[in-house]
A and B are shown apart, each in its own frame.
Chain A
Amino acid sequence: MFRTTAPVRRRGAGHAPDPATAVPRLVRAAWRTASGPGRAYDPAEVHEDFLQEAADPYGVEFRRDLFAASGRRTSVELADAALRGLGPLDGDEAPEVVVVAYATPDFEHGELVAAYLKHHLPGEPLAFAVSDQGVLAPFTALRVGVEYARRGGLRRVLLVVVDQSSQPYEMPSSGRDAVAEDSAVALLLAWDGGQEASLGGFGLGPADRTAPPPGEVVRPLPGLPCTGVWAALLSGTPASGPAVLADLDESRGQAAYCTVDVGEWRADAGTR
């Protein structure tokens, strides 16, 4: 069970600024993709009336042709594949906070990814999701996950980021909102900063005032709204030390960057 008192402010309001910062360590990571046709489409099982009813107020048309031709893998299936890519998480490696991030909903299935992950992990992690922030949702997920760890004296955070390409409505065909394939990333992060250090190397805000520090920056792969920046990190040349990742949401006029220590992360031995 998650239990807490109200958080205590440690900085500002007459207190000396706290100079101590830390960045999370990437301990394990896995990226899985899927494309092509999935299960057969049966209108009787798909609740087409719900899909049309949900879209009507927004003047959007249900597109059976697009939906039937899509993979229709569940977001739980995508998240599960990425989680399995991490290998067994026992004892000291089990996450204490689990944050799911996505921009693309799973319209067909009522299963909650965060609850599913909690059910398949040891221990009693606090598990929830953040979304509806376009490509920046995984940055918020990292910030919130680390803040819960910091506040509770916890050490391990699991981020699971999902891009769901099966949508029952017409999707953007270009730009950062376009989804080329199903994709999910699982990231096991260690927070060594304890309760005193602040999250360093992080920013999220108006694009004209939010720039990553000078130096090499990992930018997203196209066609993967939320997993793209992590996919770029995991598919690139293995780095050591801190890696800075950044993304830009032009439609919201906002940008974000984060820093993770990738010096010790264990490469995923599985295939995409």
Chain B
Amino acid sequence: MTSIAAVSSYLPDTVPLASLQEQVGLSDVQLRRYQRFYGLADVCRDEGGTETDLLLRAAAKLTELRGQEQRVKYVLQARTMPSPLPYPLTSVGPLREELGLGHAAGFVVSHHACASGLLAVDMAGMLLAADDDPDALALVLAGEKACTYRTQSIPDVTVMGEGAVAMLVSGEDAGPNRMLGYAARTHARFHSDFILGGDAAKDFQAQYLPGLCEVIVTALDEAGCGLDELALVLPHNVNRLSWMGVCKQLGIPMEKVFLDLVGAAGHCFCADPFLNLQHAQELGRLRPGDRYLMTSVGLGATFSAMVFEH
């Protein structure tokens, strides 16, 4: 079994989307569309922090890690961008040292872009289940910088935020969030670049709804869970509009989709569904026995869904 035993999040201070208009390169019409239809309003940014700082700030709030460091066998960082730090610098190295996890194996999981977070949770549970030690844990981290022109937005889709998460994952049925099913599909014809243009962008737009619905239905099937059994959907926070289409297609009531952070944080790379988990738990939106769905879509292009029981 794979379970998320604990989750913490770090949301930096926000800035109004309008203040980023020139920086992101939005026209007045685009800005209004982002605000009125996409539901984007404030974006969280940590001006002075590096990627390593963001992840450390999330991990510092993971109180369940304290005193359990020796149980942590793996540190997995899920990352959208394949190359954000000058070689040979990494975030994983300093994180292991700062958190007292120098004994743990640490590495980055990527190339599912923003869907790499769900892959990292699955991978962590798989490695732990294959080991001898049922008490062992994995620390899974996600969160990235949006500090460059090329990484701060997906044109005509969303604006990136710098929220980060830290999670303890168990290979046992030991946590409050038990994974039941997972589906991921990479539509590799979109491999050529992160930011698509022209016909490729139109093709991706056409693929988006069926691609996302396909993995949702498949993950639910693996979990033995019906759509009507879902208490909550913890989505990727790209925008509100895209979820209206998914909900209409699958018959999911919009009120079941946790969209609180779309307008309060922006799209935080791989961290979105886990940020939503932490906030939904904090708000009491999940009760014992509730089944819920996480989703992510990564440019490149990977669609992923994962079903949990709380």
Q: Is the CB of A131 within 8 A of B188?
A: no
Which residues of chain A are near B171, meaning CB under 8 Å? Answer: 7, 9
Which residues of chain A are near B223, meaning CB under 8 Å? Answer: 5
Q: A131-B110, A132-B77 are in contact. Are A144 and B132 (CB under 8 A)?
A: no
Q: Tally of A-B residue pairs with Cβ under 8 A?
A: 209
**Contact size class for A?**
35 or more
Q: Is the CB of B148 within 8 A of A54?
A: yes
Q: Is B130 an interface residue when CB atoms closer than 8 A count as contact?
A: yes
Interface residues in B156-198 (C-beta closer than 8 Å to A)? 171-172, 178-186, 188-195
Which residues of chain A are near B112, meaning CB under 8 Å? Answer: 114, 128
Q: Is B100 an interface residue when CB atoms closer than 8 A count as contact?
A: no
Interface residues in A11-41 (C-beta closer than 8 Å to B)? 11-13, 17
Q: Is A140 an interface residue when CB atoms closer than 8 A count as contact?
A: yes
Q: Is the CB of A55 within 8 A of B149?
A: no
- Interface 0/1 of B57-90, CB less than 8 Å to A: 0000000000000000000010000111111111
Please choose the segment from A99-107, A211-219, A235-243, A260-268 that sits at the chain B interface, where 4 or more of its residues have CB less than 8 A away: A99-107
Q: Is B239 an interface residue when CB atoms closer than 8 A count as contact?
A: no
Q: Is the CB of B218 within 8 A of A1?
A: yes
Our pick among A53, A132, A206 for the contact of B92 (Cβ within 8 Å) is A132
Q: Is the CB of B194 within 8 A of A177?
A: no
Q: Is the CB of A6 within 8 A of B92?
A: no
Q: Is the CB of B107 within 8 A of A4?
A: no
Q: How far is the CA of A3 from the CA of B301 in the complex (A)?
A: 17
CB distance from B194 to the nearest CB of A (A): 4
Which 9 A-B pairs give the minimum distances between C-beta atoms? A105-B83, A115-B191, A119-B188, A114-B111, A13-B134, A129-B111, A132-B108, A133-B107, A53-B148
Please, could you name 14 A-B residue pairs with CB atoms under 8 Å apart, sorted by A?
Answer: A2-B184, A4-B182, A12-B131, A54-B86, A58-B89, A110-B194, A111-B192, A112-B191, A128-B111, A130-B108, A144-B127, A151-B126, A169-B86, A206-B102
